[in-house]
Amino acid sequence: MKVLVTGGGGFLGSFICEAHLARGDRVCCLDFGPRDKVLHLLGNPAFSYVHDTVLNEPMVDALVAQADVVYHLAAVVGVEHYVADPYAVLNVNVNGTQTVLRCAHKHGKKVVFSSTSEVYGRNPKVPWSEEDDRVLGSTRIDRWSYSTSKAAGEHFCFAYARLGLPVVVLRYFNVYGPRLDALDQGRVVTVFLGQALRNRPITLVGDGSQTRCFTYVEDAVRATLQAALRPEAVGQIINIGRPVETTIEQLAEAVVGLSGSSSKIVCVPQESVYGESYEDVPRRVPDCGRMERLLGCRAEVGLEEGLAATIDHFRRVAEE
């Protein structure tokens, strides 16, 4: 099988590339960012890396034409980007997705689209099943630009599905693990790890009572590959997650305990971190029944086990 992974140089994308290479497949990674997460793959003759953007349609078209399946992960991700540069979020996530889908439809190639739990917004009814309503705040709130961009991508996926394109939409819930982000940057796990490994105060945005369901990367990748391989997944939206709620305060406590850090846990006002253009979501919980039924997958790795492996990874990187 020949596989194209847009955004394959990122966290989840690098693991998807790795998993397909382990199957004996040929993998092309298209990414505009740094190659750090795929450096260990560059010597593999079955792996190729193209440094370009999904907005370059002639390039995307040529790569899609050679693939059997396309994983579309390329996107602008991260709360810091939602509030700092919503234009980039909307431009890349909406227009880049249209480019990939247009080329895939032209060549008749299956697409697995990487969406997000953010599309549910602040719907108070949990757990969230795939057909539940989206509940968002004002369009003046930059925080919702990412959710909107991914929902627009989903709409384009299903518009192309009506034209005959085989497509699967995956909504990921807080995937974490080795190679996640740089310490102190990106998602809450790496922010907390950066603080803990330096014995600095761990800062809870708000009071830490918000809950999330954390999904270890190996579980997410296993489900993602099944979404590409199983014909019954075509045309579906599927939550990818582990439906075990953890408060952000509990996450901080786990990071401190597992890392042996002397960090203290402190609360900081949301406005001091993200400004006024942000709204948090109190609870985010997936209904994973469809993932289990259609993909035959269940997230098995518990938070402490996954965090321990993630901490070990960042400690090894720091020593290199």
Annotated catalytic sites, by residue?
146
- 2 class by beta-carbon count within 10 Å (0-12 exposed, 13-18 middle, 19+ buried): middle
| Cα–Cα distance measured from residue 75 to residue 183, given in angstroms and rounded to the nearest whole number | 20
Give the CA dihedral 269, 271, 274, 277, nearest 10 degrees. Answer: 150
Pair of tokens at residue 130 = 């795939």
Pair 21, 27: CB distance under 8 Å:
yes
Which DSSP helix (H) or strand (E) runs through 265? strand 265-268
Sequence-separated contacts (24+) of 185-189 with Cβ below 8 Å:
185/78, 185/80, 186/77, 186/78, 186/80, 187/78, 188/212, 188/248, 188/251, 189/214, 189/251, 189/255, 189/307, 189/310
Question: What Å distances lie between residue 221 and 11, 35, 107, 227, 291, CA to CA?
Answer: 11, 20, 25, 10, 12
Kindly give the interhelix angle for 217-229 and 11-22, rounded to the nearest 10 degrees: 60
Pair of tokens at residue 54 = 């999904």
| Cα–Cα distance measured from residue 170 to residue 220, given in angstroms and rounded to the nearest whole number | 10
Query: Of 96, 86, 150, which is closest to residue 118 (Cα–Cα)?
Result: 150
